[in-house]
Amino acid sequence: MRIRIVDAFTDRPFAGNPAGVLLLDTFPDDGRLQNIALEVNHAETAFAHPLPGGGEADWALRWFTPAVEVAMCGHATLATAHVLHSTGAHRGPVRFATRSGVLVATPGEDGEITLDFPTAPLTPVDVPEGVAEALGAVPLTAFDTGPNIGDLLLEVADERTVHALRPDLEALAAHSERGVIATARAENPALGYDFVSRCFFPNVGIDEDPVTGSAHTALAPYWSERLGRFALTGLQASPRSGRVRTEVRGERTLLAGRAVTVIEGDLLV
């Protein structure tokens, strides 16, 4: 099996979020998929195989962290679409059949890829007891992000607070299904982004995710309502960092970014 490592939501190597990508003829058993994802040891490894023509989707797609299979992943979908287009395995928009329904990735002439994902439903909740101590900052608001994501979305005071977070990950794990998204408004939108975020997912084996496409299906509607604009750019302020362009279209959210293949080789077992 051919395996590639792709940095997603970036236009340069060694930034953004790395994902493993394997294009297969069919899916092997789940245990083998999980073992491969553990060996790759990135936040996500994507496995895809072509589907018969004439259906609602072109490729089947699944995502695994080193610990579990997940219901939705943005950066590994972007990475898979990048591999399909850069290798000529697929031309034009590609429809992926996933656990979150059919997701479409459309390449642009400039190399950017736009993902069409379901908008996360946001439900306001009380700030859970103990979450401020676990996060290391006092949240201003708290929202549940629905079943596809399973995160707790927390707005904090300002951008500097987001950058300075050093959470207690073991304590944080008790407060959501997947993890916690911490966010704040950008201090200087002239720098090219409207909001910042960081994502901590200890429940799925990821202490901090570098750039999380799925989280932006919640961040985009949250900040679009507050800033009064449908089209925004988010900066995920992890050490690797990356930017996600977003556009809310009702029940769907568009996520746009670039990707770079950095490693290509053969899986020998």
What residues are labeled active site?
44
Q: Which residues pair with 47 in a beta bridge?
A: 22, 62
Q: Which residues pair with 142 in a beta bridge?
A: 154
| Count of CA atoms in the C-beta half-sphere (13 A) of 206 | 31
**Inter-residue contact 74 to 213 (CB < 8 Å):** yes
Whole-number Å distance between alpha carbons of 79 and 64: 14
**Inter-residue contact 198 to 165 (CB < 8 Å):** yes
Whole-number Å distance between alpha carbons of 50 and 59: 4
The total of other beta-carbon atoms located within 10 Å of residue 236's CB is 31
